[in-house]
Amino acid sequence: MPRGGDHTHFGYETVPLADKQGRVDDVFRSVARRYDLMNDLMSGGLHRAWKDALVTAVNPPKNAREFVVLDLAGGTGDVAFRIAQAGGPGTRIVVCDINPDMLAVGQERAAERGLDGVVTFEQGNAEELAYPDRSFDCVTIAFGIRNVPRIERALAQAHRVLKLGGRFLCLEFSSVDVPGLDALYELYSFQVIPRIGDAVAGDRDAYQYLVESIRKFPKPKLFATMIEASGFRRASFTPMTGGVVALHSGWRL
């Protein structure tokens, strides 16, 4: 994904950076109701293990100590509910997502689980967070950072709203580093996933975009340097499943 210019690639098109958010919104509005099902089908259920690794890294306290997490781009609540389940009575999660359709799904699910007092859902833009400085113990984002038009702004905002000693955790698709698996993964991504999207969510183009956005995302070492450049310290990443995804970490120290 280019940085610093005024254009970005959307699928095989090049669109003005200012238009990208609207295009991304259209994708997620289209697939909101089937999004978690599609994640299961696309990843063979592996996204659950990846998210469990994220929650383990969040490590919410099991006791009543206050611990407030900001989950960016987490509209359907999948990650937030996992954190709530792992934490004690002092754990609270604020889900901030730009897309009202995804948030509506999350709010319904929170009510069904009896978690509407633990997980709150708020519409907002990761590039311009409305929260005060140093107000969260942890900031998470799972499979959402690559859809932010200006990634550096989102990273800077995440750093700003974290308390001193707070941790930023980002789960994102990465670059496969196992010989042979890379070609197979490429074939699966471009030939199979859009067809699944067409069959299950009725939107081939949305999933074509999601696949292509993965390919344009910075390699993990480059993304780690971007995290450091935003003010975080001890930036690191852990590849999983042969590099299909990586869990990135940074601390506000």
CA dist 65 and 84 (Å) reads 13
Q: What backbone torsions phi and psi does residue 181 show, to the nearest 5 degrees? A: -65, -30
Q: Is the dihedral of CA 220, 155, 74, 92 positive or negative?
A: positive
> Could you list the pLDDT tens digit for every one of the 253 residues in the chain?
333 344 443 344 454 555 555 555 665 666 667 667 767 777 778 889 999 999 999 999 999 999 999 999 998 999 999 999 999 999 999 999 999 999 999 999 999 999 999 999 999 999 999 999 999 999 999 999 988 999 999 999 999 999 999 999 999 988 888 787 777 878 777 777 778 778 776 778 777 877 788 888 899 999 999 999 999 999 999 999 999 899 999 999 9
> Is-contact 120 96, C-beta < 8 A?
no
Please state whether beta strands 91-97 and 7-10 pair in parallel, antiparallel, or not at all (unpaired).
Answer: unpaired
pLDDT in the model for residue 6: 43
Q: How far apart are CA 32 and CA 28, in angstroms?
A: 6
Per-residue model confidence (pLDDT) at position 53? 97
Q: Which CATH class is domain 7-251?
A: alpha beta
Cα 234–chain centre separation: 20
How far apart CA 125 and CA 216 sit, in angstroms, is 21
* DSSP H or E segment with residue 227: helix 220-229
Indicate the angle between helix axes 35-43 and 17-31, nearest 10 degrees.
Answer: 90
Smallest CA-to-CA distance from 33 within 112, 125, 106 is with: 106
Specify the amino acid at residue 132.
P
Distance CA 250, CA 230 (A): 10
Q: Do 109 and 76 contact (CB within 8 A), yes or no?
A: yes
Among 140, 155, 38, 135, residue whose Cα is nearest residue 84: 140
Counting every residue, how long is the chain?
253
Q: What pLDDT, on a 0 to 100 scale, did the predictor assign at position 17?
A: 54
Whole-number pLDDT of residue 29: 64
Distance, in Å, from the CA atom of 208 to the CA atom of 214, rounded to the nearest integer, reads 10
Antiparallel, parallel or unpaired: β 91-97 and 119-123 = parallel
| Greatest alpha-carbon span in the chain | 50
Q: Strand 13-16 to strand 7-10: parallel, antiparallel, or no bridges (unpaired)?
A: antiparallel
**Cα–Cα distance measured from residue 8 to residue 209, given in angstroms and rounded to the nearest whole number:** 12
Alpha carbon distance 134, 166 (integer Å)? 9
- Positive or negative, the CA dihedral 38, 42, 45, 50 is negative
- Check residue 11 and give its pLDDT: 40
